[in-house]
Amino acid sequence: MKKVNKVEENRIKLELKIKEVTGWHKARVYVIVALIMAIIQERSVNLKRLASYLNSKLEDKANYRRVTRFFQKFEFDRRMFTKLLASFLPKNEKWTLIMDRTNWKFGKTHINILVLAVKYKGIAVPILWYLLDKKRGNSSYRDRIRIVREFINLFGVEKIEVLLADREFIGKEWFAWLQRREIPFVIRVRNNTLVNGKKVSTLFAKVPNKGFLHLKKVCNVWY
């Protein structure tokens, strides 16, 4: 019996998982898994560097043509992709969600993406994202509601342990919507935010690292 090394074992497991969740045919699954394994080993997304992992018996040019044809013909379904990523996460646990936004330029084109990720073993696994209409700048409360609402439609609000976000993701309408849906959230505020007339930087000045200050009364917040 042929002995299978760890890399080959992981490749087989990944192929079986993807086939089970998506129902894609064998050739499509093979290319996707080959590219995933190549990205991990090369630590790059350069297709010319990744293409050689498809078939060591073929020339690099032939492998590269196969990869480019794959991306030209195969359209990724967002919901299927979300379902696939979610299949690797704990099923019987609530998830800590992390909202973030990334903005960069590809040539002269601005790319502005709102992301919803799941915290897992110290990393954030992105499972939903939207290209924002704005070329640059913050998301609106409508953008944030849209992405969280899609998560709820797919997995249910009861799957949310807590939503974490940076100080960019503030706003009266946004907070009010989260409260109406009874979604627990922890969102940073700017250090000049006023709580009952005091700056947050002053209010929390004596709180030690990893410590907390519990404000027992309802507070008025200006940000």
Amino acid residing at 24: W
Pairing of strands 221-222, 194-195: antiparallel
First to last CA, the chain: 67
pLDDT at 125 over 90: yes
| pLDDT value at residue 177 | 97
Beta strands in the chain (DSSP E): 95-106, 109-120, 123-131, 160-165, 185-187, 194-195, 198-199, 221-222
3-state secondary structure of 130: strand
20-24, 78-82, 154-158, range with greatest mean pLDDT: 154-158
Residue 71 has pLDDT above 70, yes or no: yes
Domains within the chain, CATH numbers bracketed: 6-75 (no CATH), 83-188 (3.30.420.10)
Q: What is the DSSP letter of 17?
A: H
Starting at the edge strand found earlier in the chain, the sheet holding 221-222 runs: 198-199, 194-195, 221-222
pLDDT digits (tens, 9 = 90+) for 31-68: 999 999 999 889 998 988 898 888 878 888 898 999 89
Q: What is the pLDDT of residue 100?
A: 95
The pTM score is 0.83
